[in-house]
Amino acid sequence: MSKNVALLFIAVLTVASLVMVKAAPASAQSVPEVTLKFEAHPYDVPTTYGIDPFTGKNITIEEGYHVRNESIVFTIKNQPITNLFYNIRYKGHFGDGWTELYSWMQYGPESPNNSPGNLIPQSNSGYTVITIPAVYPFVNGAAIDFQVQAYSWVYVDVWIADHPMAPPPINEIGHYEQHLALDKTSGWSPAQTMTFPLILPNVTLLSPQEGEFNTSDVPLNFVVDQPVSQFIYSLDGQENVTIAGNTTLTGLPNGYHNVTLYVMDEAGNTGASETLFFEVEVPKPFPTMTVAILAILGIFSCVGIVLYLRRKIKT
């Protein structure tokens, strides 16, 4: 009898353990592997002009300005877990207080939205790329520490009372709904420090300006607002070309072209000009050889006519 009881007890434990394993949701067990990169794609908004409707004079409608357009790119190696979302936090390198950008307490199931829709989901590719704008306080030489954390979520059945304010047994009438619930969170990735440049080099293209050129050699002239170590331009999306300074784009075929100039300062920070579009339309050369031949034929024709008339007169 005691042997049968022991066997029954072992069987119950085995079944219970199997049920627990089956019921255990997936979890974010690994600390995210993250690489950081600083990107800048500055551009200039040109000044807009117009005509004063009362005087007919040219007026400035809005002054042009420069946009730094800087961002921080997080590249996270994906994990073999479904329903995985990411959080990012930062702090000043010399401080202690962290600020979370996508906290599950604010955007997760416990929030009023009851959905992680505002969180950053893991992509279906090998890596998830998250880009955040480099605005205050990520500017002006600031040293910032960044970390990334992963959340895993599961669907759970939640009982919803149809009449929650009614007395029993009416408030026991209801239905089940599926809701997302937080499963587990990973540890934070190792802190990575990024130091932001004070001012990225700003380059302005003076030539070519948008318009049409009747020559295949177009000057590439520009100004930079600080000392730089390298100048590079890209013509029509082709390979980058390193130059020493102002130069000339030679041998351009007829048609539309575009050029972008990049400059790099001593610290390796890169700035870019706006992309300028222009057209080259070189007139076809005048057919001088044909004209010369026609001229010679014309002379011979005239001589022939004169000789013919002389014979006529003599006869």
**pLDDT higher than 60, residue 239:** yes
pLDDT of residue 289: 55
In three-state form (DSSP H/G/I as H, E/B as E, the rest C), the secondary structure along the chain is: CHHHHHHHHHHHHHHHHHHHHHHCCCCCCCCCCEEEEEEECCEEECCEEEECCCCCCEEEEECCEEECCEEEEEEEECCCCCCEEEEEEEEECCCCCCEECCCHHHHCCCCCCCCHHHCEECCCCCEEEEEEECCCCCCCCCEEEEEEEEEEEEEEEEEEECCCCCCCCHHHCEEEEEEEEEEEECCCCCCEEEECCCCCCCEEEEECCCCEECCCCEEEEEEECCCCCEEEEEECCCCCEEECCCEEECCCCCEEEEEEEEEECCCCCEEECCCEEEEECCCCCCCHHHHHHHHHHHHHHHHHHHHHHHHHHHC
**pLDDT higher than 80, residue 114:** no
Q: Judge whether 128 and 87 are in contact, CB under 8 Å.
A: no
Q: Which of 145, 174, 195 is the last residue of a domain?
A: 195
Q: Are residues 133 and 251 in the same domain?
A: no
Q: Are residues 159 and 269 in the same domain?
A: no
Domain residue limits at 116: 2-195
Please state the domain count of the chain: 2
**pLDDT higher than 80, residue 31:** yes
Q: Are residues 137 and 258 in the same domain?
A: no
Share of the chain above pLDDT 90, in %: 35
CATH number at residue 243: 2.60.40.10
**pLDDT higher than 90, residue 112:** no
**pTM > 0.85:** no
Mean pLDDT value of segment 185-205: 87
**pLDDT higher than 60, residue 27:** no
pLDDT digits (tens, 9 = 90+) for 120-162: 889 988 999 999 999 888 876 889 999 999 998 888 888 888 8
Q: Which of 195, 211, 230 is the last residue of a domain?
A: 195
Cβ within 8 Å of residue 245, ≥6 positions away: 231
pLDDT of residue 177: 86
| Mean pLDDT comparison of 27-31, 58-62, 205-209, highest-scoring range | 205-209
Sheet holding 34-40, edge to edge: 34-40, 70-77, 127-133
Burial of 109 (0-12, 13-18, 19+ CB in 10 A): middle
